[in-house]
Each structure stands twice: as C-alpha cells, then as structure tokens.
Structure 1
Amino acid sequence: MVDVRYDIAFKLYPYEKVADQDLAPRRHPVVIVGGGPVGMATALDLGRKGTPVLVLDDHEGVGQGSRAICFAKRTLEICDRLGAAKGMVDKGVVWNVGKVFHGDKRVFEFNLSPEDGHKAPAFINLQQPYFEKHLVEEIRVAQSQGAPIEIRGRNGVTGMSQHGDHVLIDVDTPDGPYQLEADWVIACDGARSPTRDMLGLSFEGRVFEDNFLIADVKMKADFPTERWFWFAPPFKDSGASALLHKQPDDIWRIDFQLGWDIDRAKELRVENIRARVDAMLGENAEYELEWTSIYTFQCRRMEKFRHGNVLFAGDSAHQVSPFGARGANSGVQDADNLAWKLDLVVKGLAPDTLLDSYSEERVHGADENILNSTRATDFLTPKTEMSKIFRDAVLELAHDHSFARVMVNSGRLSLPCSYERLSLNGPDALNGPTVSRVGANCSDAPLKDGFLLDVLGGDFTVLAIDTEVPQLADVDGITLKTVTLDTGRDDVSGAIAARYLGEAPSGIYLIRPDQHVAARWAVASAADIQSGVRIATGRGQ
C-alpha cells in the first residue's frame, strides 16, 4: 500500500497512561481489539446498552487511506439506531444509479432504490476515516451521557491466551507492556488479524489470480454521482475492467483490473499510475493522487466465529472481494448481531450458548457474501477462453435484451442477509409478505410522525398492526416494548400494510434488538410472545 497523500487524518484518541498499567491484571467485562468501523460500532452499541467495554487500538485515530467507501442502506439504518448516521449521510455522496459499459457502449443502468418510503438512502459513498470519525464522535456523546466505553490509543495487543472463564491479554504501549483480563474479547483487528494468529486459528478460502489498482483522485469533474463500471474499457492500458465513482471532497475512486502476473512495485510508481489515470480522464485532466493501493481478490472465512471467550467480527472473521461493497457493510452487520446477544449474556439474562448463534447466523451471512463475491469475480475474470466468450456474449445481449442483464455481474451490491430457518427463529404463523418473513430484517416505512425503524429502536419489541396484543413489560427480566399501529391512522403511504400485512387483515410481530423478525402471528397470546422471546434468546420453547 502506498499513501501518496491523504488529508483525512483524525487523532481522536491520543495515548494516555492509565492505572491498569501499574496494577496486577484487572478484569474487564468486554475488550474489543481494533478500533475500525466494526470495533467502534460494537463498542457504541454495547456501551449504549450499559455494558462496560474497552477498545484497544494500536493507533490513535483514523486516516490511513479511504479503504471502504460504499455504505449500504442497512448499515446506515444500524448507524442511525446508534445515533451516528445523520453526520455520515450529510457528509457522504448519496447515489442510487449505476451504469455498466462494455467498451465504449453503455450496456444498461440500474436503480438501487426504486422504492420510496425509507429514511436511509440505498448507498452513500464516504471515505472510511469519516465513517469511523462519526462513530467515535457518537461514542464521545454516549460517554458524556454515562455510557461505560473506554478507548485506549497506541495500546497494541501482542499476546492472548484463554483461561477458562477469562482471557489474558498482553498489551504494549509507549510506556511499556502491561496485562489485563477480559471476560469476553471481540477481535475486530482486520484481515491479517493478529488475534487469530495468536490463537493459532485458520482462515480458509480462495485467493483469485487477479490484482486491482485503487487510485483515489482529487479533481473537479462534472461526472454524475453514479457508479460507472466498464468491461474492456476503451481507454488505453486500463486493464480488463475499470470502475469510477465519487466520494466527498471532490475525490473520485478509480479501480483498474491489472491481471495476475504483475510487478507490484512497478505498478505503484506514481508515473505509471498517472499514465493509467491520464488514459481514462484525458491527458489534459487536472487532478492530484490522494491514495493508492493494490489489492488481490480473496474470499475467505474462519470455520466459526466463536472460539471460547473470543469472538471474531468483520475482516478478522471473513474477507470478500471489494466489488459489491460487502466487506465493511457485512462487518457492521456482525456488530449489530453480536452486541445485543453479548449484552444479555454479560447481564446474566441469557445463556452464553446464545453466542453460538452469533457464529451460526453470521457464518451464514459470510457464506452468502462469499457466494455473491465469488460469482462476481468469476464474471470479471473468466478462467477459461470459453468462459470469456460466454461472458462477452452476455454483455452483447444485455445491451438490447433485458433477460441477459440479470446475468451481468459487476459486483452484486450489498444487501442484508435473512436468518430464516436458523435456530433463533420462532413461528411464522402469519400469511404475510415475504419481505417481512421470520429471519428477515425489518423493512423501514414512513409513519404519520417519523419512520418505523426509529419507533422500533434497539429493544425486543412486539409490533401489533390493526389488532390488540397482550401487554408484557418483560420476559424473564428482558425488557419488552410494545408498538401498536393503526394503518388507517399511522400508515401514511400504505407501506406498512404492503410490507407487513399483505393480504392479512392484521398481524403481530416479535422484533429482535437488531431489528430482525423473530416470530410473527395472526393472533398471539402472552404465552406465544414469551415463547418467542425465549427461542430468540437461545433458551428453546
């Protein structure tokens, strides 16, 4: 990786010596290793729920290149629940339209948000340092409100071992090493995860024989805020494919497909990068290189994401190729899945076997992402001459025939996965729409005052639509919120009826804290709801 010049640099949590460094190892309920998007989202979620959490990061903030830039609607909905999304959306570049080209011919275009009635946009482009910055700023707000979150910069984890009910962690700082203990550790330390190596755990999958050059270019340009992707680009020496889309601050992300057998050092020379960019933009284009890197497509994951008292999330647990924006987005969904479960376990409100369902559900999500990512990679880089002939024929047909467009794959863009048919699901006893089936994440919808996801929040919630429902304050100590909607009064656009009732006259939904549907009924008793909560918290019927 070459950091040519990048202005996004935030020293958000400078190193300070703490009392732990002069004491015998002190026990912490939850320690997060790594302060990237996944680590900070997990810390914010846990802290807002009242679970003490300590983040150890070997830097003092963010700002090492733009890296992830595409953040999807579900990620923004999660960040909105945590209080951090408004600044992200205000800063980010909102986009819905993508265009696919073959040579100099436009094959087709697509709209990622053809449906109205959602608070969050389909996608924003926002450099990862800004995304992290907004999370950390919201952590500061939460801390001021009493949330028990601590961040220690320049605290690098150098060793880790499990000891039954806790984990012993070795930490290095500018003032020397120290040790601490944790009931639970969450490893969010990236694709090269030192935590994974310290515990001797494997990371299996495919490494594809291709390399891609990223160039973040600062320039004034009148290109629309769309995702443009070329197969066989018409500009000279640009490789087998290219990608262009806009970021904030007049920065544009360009990707060039280089092939497998390359001289990485040569390709990263500024003059060679400029030659490729000049061929794309024109030799008279005025721009500055902000950040460049070469990456290799990889689709890999750990066999399971829980190992004793250590849980893995984000790139430390799974890795996919960048086309499709499935890396950071799936990592934030890991955080969303894990935080409420670990919170209940730490508070003694659920058995620690609930954390096995984190691995079950997010391995399922990783496999879905890997499948989509692998298919995109195989379409982008055909492995045989016959595959290439087929790929090019599909592109030719797609220009005029809609049936071929569904076969064009320049990266199936990130969507949340459904946990249907997995172990935490209760009954699906409502003949309702597929979009709100048990296991799916809740679809947003406008209400008379606000949006549905804002009303649901981050608790176990009973959503009753056009019907009465038993009022339960809690189930076995777990807080249970009730939301009652009257479609005649509250459903200002008809979206609630369309997305949650369909042909059914009424419905009752049990919603998990991560806003996934745990169960749904046409009619439900207090015993039905209690049973649904117990199933959703890993305690069976």
Structure 2
Amino acid sequence: MVDVRYDIAFRLYPYERVQTQGAARQRVPVVIVGGGPIGMAAALDLGRKGTPVLVLDDHEGVGQGSRAICFAKRTLEIADRLGAARAMVDKGVVWNVGKVFHGADQVFEFNLQPEPGHEMPAFINLQQPYFEKFLVDEIRVAQKEGAPIDIRGRNAVTGITRHADHVVLDVGTPDGPYQIAADWVIACDGARSPIRDMMGLSFDGRVFEDNFLIADVKMTAEFPTERWFWFEPPFKNSGQSALLHKQPDDIWRIDFQLGWDIDRKAELDPARVRERVDAMLGAGADYELEWTSIYTFQCRRMKKFRHGRVLFAGDSAHQVSPFGARGANSGVQDADNLAWKLDLVIKGLAPDTLLDSYSAERVHGADENILNSTRATDFLTPKSETSMTFRNAVLDLARRHAFARPMVNSGRLSVPCVYDGMPLNGPDALGGPAATRVGAPCLDAPLDRGFLLNRLTGHFTVLSINASAPDIAEVDGVPVAHVTLTTDRNDPTGALAQRYLGTQPQAVYLIRPDQHVTARWPGCDTRAVTEAVRQAIGKAA
C-alpha cells in the first residue's frame, strides 16, 4: 500500500501504560483482538448489554486509506441499534443508481432504492475510518453511561495459550510485555490474522489470478452520485474493467483491473497512477491522489469460526473479493450474531454450546457471500475464450433486453443471509410472507410513530400483529419484550401488513436479539413461546 495523503486518520485511543503491568495477571470475561469496525461493533454491543470487554489493538486508532467504503442497509440497521447509524448516514453519500458500460456504451442502469417504508437507505458510501470513529464515539458515550468497555491502543497480541476454561494472551507494548487472561477471546484481527496463525488454523479457498489498483482521488467533479462500472473501458491502459463512485469529502474511488503478471512497485508509482486516472477523467482534470493500493481477489474462509474459547469474526474468519461490498458488511453481521449469544453464555443463561450456532450460522453466511463473490469475479475476469464469449454476449443482449440484465454481474451487492434450516429456528406455522420467514432478518416498516426496527432493541421480542400474545416476561432468566400492534392503528402505509401478514389476518412473531425471526404463528400460548425461546438459546429438549 502507498499512503499518498489521507486526511481522516483518527488517533482515537492513544497509548497509555497498563496499570496492572508487572502485577498479577488480570482476568477479564472477553478480550477482543482488533479495533476495526467488527471488533468495535462487538465491543459496543457486549458493553451495552453489561458484559465487560477489553479491546486490544496494535495501533492507536483507525488505519489510513478508505478500504471498505460501501455500507449496506442491514449494516446501517445494526449500527442504528448500537447508536452509530445517524452519524454514518449524515456523513455518508447515499446512492441508489448504478450504471453499467461495455466499452463506451451504456448497457443499462439499475436502482437499488428499496421499496418505500424503510428508515435506512439501501447503501451509503463512507470511508471505513469514519465508521470506526463513529463506533468509538458511541463507545465513549456508553462508557460514560457505565458500559464496561476498555480499549488499549498499541497493545499487540504476540502469543496465545489456550486452557479448558480460559485463554492467556501475551501482549507487547512500548513499556514492555504483559499477560492477560480471558474467559473468551474474539479474534477480529483481519485477513492476515496473527491469532489464526498462532493457533495454526487453516484459511482455505481461491486466490484469483488478477490484481486491481485502487486510487482514491480528491476532486470537485460534475459526475452524478452513482456507481459507474465499465467492462472493457474505452480509456487508455484501464485494463479489463474499471469502477468509479463517490465518497464523502469530495473523494472519488476508482478501481482499475490490472491483470495478473504485473510489477506492483511500478504500478503504484504516482506518475503511473496519474496516467491511468488522466485517461479516465480526461486531459487537464484537476485532482489530488489521496490513497493508492493494489489488491488481489481472494475468497477464503476458516472451516469453523469457533475454536474452544476463541471465536473468529470478520476478515479473520472469511475473506471475499471487494466487488459486492460483502467484507465489512458480513463482518458486522458476524458481530451482531455473536454478541447476544456470548452475553447469554457469560451470564449463565445459555450453555456454551450456543456458540456453536454462531459458527454454523455465519459459516452459512460466509459460504453464500463467497458463492456470490466468486460468481462476480468469474464474470469480471473470464478464464477462457468461451467464458469471455458468453460474458460479452450477455452484455450485448442486456443493451436491448431486460431479461439478460440480471445475468450481468459487476458485483451483486451485499444482502443479509437467511438462516434457513439452522438449529436455533423454531416453528414456522404462519404461512406468511417468505421475506419474513423463520431465519430471515426482520424487514423494517413505518409505524404510526417511528419505524418497526426501532422497537426491536436487542432482546428477545414477541411481536403481535392483530393478535393477543401470552404475558411472558422471561424464559429461564432470559428477558422477553413485547411489541403489540394493530394494522388499523399502527400501520399507516400498509407495509407492516404486507411484510408480516401477507394474506393472514393476524400473526405472532418471536424475534431474536439480532432481529432475525426465530418463530412465527397465527396465534400462540405461553408454552409455544417458551419452547421457541429455549430452542433459540440452545436449550431445546
């Protein structure tokens, strides 16, 4: 990576000497290794639930360069529950329209705007350092409110020793090493995960024989706020594909496909980068290079994400190609899935086997993302003459015929996976809409006051629509909240009925803390809810 100049390197958690350094070994419930967006989201979620958590990061704040820039609606909904979404949307660039070109010709355009009645937009573009900053800002708010979250910058984990009931970490600091013991460790330390390497765990999959140049440029341009993607672009030395879209602060992200056999040092020379950018933007374009990097597509994952008391999340557990924005978005969903389960285990409200479901569900999600990412990569970089002929035929057809447009794959954008067939799922006895079936993430809907997802605040929730539900406050010590709505009073647009009832007159949904549907019925009693909650916390009979 070449760091030309970047203005949003935040020093969020400056190094401070650990007070217990040199004293008896400290033991904490949870240590998160890695202070990126996945680690900070998990820390914020656990801390707000009252579970003490310590974050160790080898830097003092966010890294430089924009890295992830495209955050999907589901990530924004998770961030909203954590308190960080409003800052993200206010700072980010909201976009809905994408255009696809083949050579100089536009093939078609698409609009990602979701159906009306969602609080969050389909996507925003926002540099990853801002996302990390907004999460840390919210952690500071939570700390003032008493959330037990500690962050230690320039504390690098250098060794790990696993025991039956805890893990010991060796930590290096500017003032020397120390050790800390943790009941549980969450490894969020990136695609080159030192924790994974120290444990000798595999990271299997495909490395695609291609390289892509990222150039973030600062300019005031008249381009619309859209995602433009070129197959075989017409500008000089642009490679097989190119991508352009806008970020905050007048930053534009440009990707150029370079091919496999390249001189990386030569391609990162600023003069060479400028030659490519000038060819795209036109002679005399006024811009500054902010950040450049070359990346190689990889689609890989660990065989499982739980290894005893060490749990892997984000890029340390799985890696996908960036087209489709599945990296950070899927990692945030990892944190969302893991935090409530680990919290219940630590509080003694669920068996630790519940954490096996974290691995099962998120491996399922990773496989779905890898499949979609691999298909996009194969479409972008055909590996044979036959594949190239097929791709170009699809592009030619898409100019004139709508049926071919879904076959064009310039990186189909991230959507959350549905946990179909997973062990925690309860009964689906409603016969309701498929989009809100058991295992699916809840869809938002406008209510007479606010939006539905704002009512689902991180607990198990019984959502009753035109139906009565049993008065049950807890199951085996696990709190159960209630949201009771009627379509005549609370559903001004009809979206609630459309998304949750379909043709049914009434429904009762049981929603998990991560806003996934775990059971639904046309009506139910105390026993049904109790059994479904027990199923969802790993206590099924």
Q: Normalised by the shorter chain, which TM-score bucket? A: over 0.9
- Residue 390 of structure 2 aligns to a residue in which SS? helix
Look up the match of 2:414.
414
Q: Determine the structure 2 residue equivalent to 1:110.
A: 110
Deviations 1:330-351 (A, max 9, x none): 0000000000000000000000
Alignment correspondent of 1:306: 306
Query: Which residue number corresponds to residue 440 of structure 1?
Result: 440
Distance 1:296 1:233 in 2: 20
Aligned to 1:139: 139
Distance 1:21 1:206 in 2: 42
Deviation of residue 114 (structure 1)? Answer: 3.9
How far apart are the structure 2 equivalents of 1:282 and 1:431? Answer: 56
Equivalent positions of 1:129-528 (< 5 A) are 129-528=129-528
Letter in 2 for 1:58: D
Per the TM alignment, residue 161 of structure 1 is displaced from its structure 2 partner at its CA by: 1.2
Task: Tell me, in whole angstroms, the C-alpha distance in 2 between the residues paired with 1:67 and 1:442.
Answer: 29
What count of residue pairs does the alignment treat as equivalent? 541
Verify the 8 A CA contact 1:213 1:256 in the aligned structure 2.
yes
The Cα offsets for residues 199-232 of structure 1, whole Å up to 9 and x where unpaired, read as 1101000000000000000000011111100001
* SS at structure 1 position matched to 2:10: coil
Contact persistence 2:510–2:517 (CA under 8 A): yes
Amino acid at match of 1:292: T
Aligned partners of 1:22, 1:368: CA distance in 2, in Å? 46
Task: Name the aligned partner's letter for residue 437 of structure 2.
Answer: R
1:59 aligns with 2:87: no
Cα separation, 1, equivalents of 2:100 and 2:149: 44
RMSD (Å), alpha carbons: 0.6
Cα separation, 2, equivalents of 1:389 and 1:72: 32
1:20 & 1:393 partners in 2: Cα distance?
Answer: 66
Residue in structure 2 matched with residue 70 of structure 1 by the alignment: 70
Q: Deviation digits for residues 421-473 of structure 1, max 9, x if unmatched? A: 11000000001000100000000000000000001111100000001111111
What TM-score, normalized by structure 2, do the two folds share?
1.00
Deviation at 1:87, TM superposition (A): 0.4
Supply the AA of the counterpart residue of 1:151.
Answer: I
| Equivalent position of 1:124 in the other structure | 124
Structure 2 residue runs of 5 or longer lacking an equivalent are none
Contact 2:88-2:131 within 8 A present in 1 as well: yes
- 1:19 is displaced (CA, Å) by 2.0
Q: How far off is 1:26 after superposition?
A: 1.1
The 2-side partners of 1:11 and 1:66 are apart by 16
Contact preservation (8 Å) 1:186, 1:310? yes
SS at match of 2:94: strand
SS of 1:99 mapped into structure 2: strand
DSSP 3-state at the match of 2:532: helix
Secondary structure in 1 aligned to 2:169?
Answer: strand
Q: Distance in 2 between matches of 1:446 and 1:396?
A: 41
Q: 1:176 is paired with a residue of what secondary structure?
A: coil
Cα distance, 1:20 vs structure 2: 2.3
What is the deviation of 1:523? 1.3
Contact 2:210/2:259, CA 8 A, preserved across alignment: yes
Distance apart, 1:62 and its partner CA: 1.0
Deviations 1:311-369 (A, max 9, x none): 00000000000000000000000000000000000000000000000000000000000
SS in 1 for 2:400: coil
Secondary structure (helix, strand or coil) at the match of 1:446 reads coil
Give 1:248's aligned amino acid: P
Q: Which amino acid aligns with 1:187?
A: A
SS at match of 2:29: strand
Q: In 1, Cα distance between the equivalents of 2:206 and 2:2?
A: 25
Deviation digits for residues 272-317 of structure 1, max 9, x if unmatched?
A: 0000000000120000000000000000000000000000000000
Task: Measure the CA separation in 2 of the matches of 1:394 and 1:490.
Answer: 46
Per the alignment, in what secondary structure is the counterpart of residue 147 of structure 1? coil
C-alpha displacement of 1:524:
0.5
Runs of 4+ in 1 over 3 A off after TM superposition: none
Write the distance in 2 (CA, Å) between the matches of 1:476 and 1:63.
43
For 2:188, the aligned partner's letter is C
2: CA distance between counterparts of 1:390 and 1:124?
Answer: 32
SS at match of 1:428: coil
1:38 positional shift: 0.1
| Contact in 2 for aligned 1:301/1:366 (Cα 8 Å) | yes
Contact in 2 for aligned 1:20/1:180 (Cα 8 Å): no
Q: Report the identity percentage.
A: 76
Which residue identity does 2:215 align to in structure 1? A
Give, in angstroms, the shift of residue 17 of structure 1. 1.1
- One-letter identity of the residue aligned with 1:334: D
The alpha carbon displacement at 1:9 in A equals 1.2
Q: Partners of 1:20 and 1:385 in 2: how far apart?
A: 63
One-letter code aligned to 1:192: R
Q: Distance in 2 between matches of 1:164 and 1:243?
A: 49
Deviation at 1:11, TM superposition (A): 0.6
Residue type of the partner of 1:222?
A: E
Mapped partners of 1:225, 1:254: distance in 2: 14
CA distance in 1, matches of 2:120, 2:457: 15
- Residue 530 of structure 1 corresponds to which residue in structure 2? 530
Contact 2:114 2:122 in 1 (8 A): no
**Residues 86-127 of structure 1, C-alpha deviation per residue, up to 9 Å, x if partnerless?**
001000000111110101111111111241100000000000
CA deviations over 1:152-203 (Å, ceiling 9, x no partner): 0000000001011000100000100000000000000000000000111010
How far 1:261 moved relative to its partner? 0.6
Q: Which amino acid aligns with 2:492?
A: V
C-alpha distance in structure 1 between counterparts of 2:140 and 2:91, whole Å: 19
**TM superposition score normalised by structure 1:** 1.00
1:6 pairs with 2:6: yes
Instruction: Answer yes or no: is the 8 Å Cα contact 1:171–1:178 preserved in 2.
Output: yes
Counterpart amino acid of residue 152 in structure 2: R
Query: Are the counterparts in 1 of residues 114 and 121 from structure 2 also a CA contact under 8 Å?
Result: no
DSSP 3-state at the match of 2:21 = helix
Return the alpha-carbon distance in structure 2 between the equivalents of residues 437 and 114 of structure 1: 19
3-state secondary structure, aligned to 2:137: helix
The letter of the residue matching 2:478 is: I
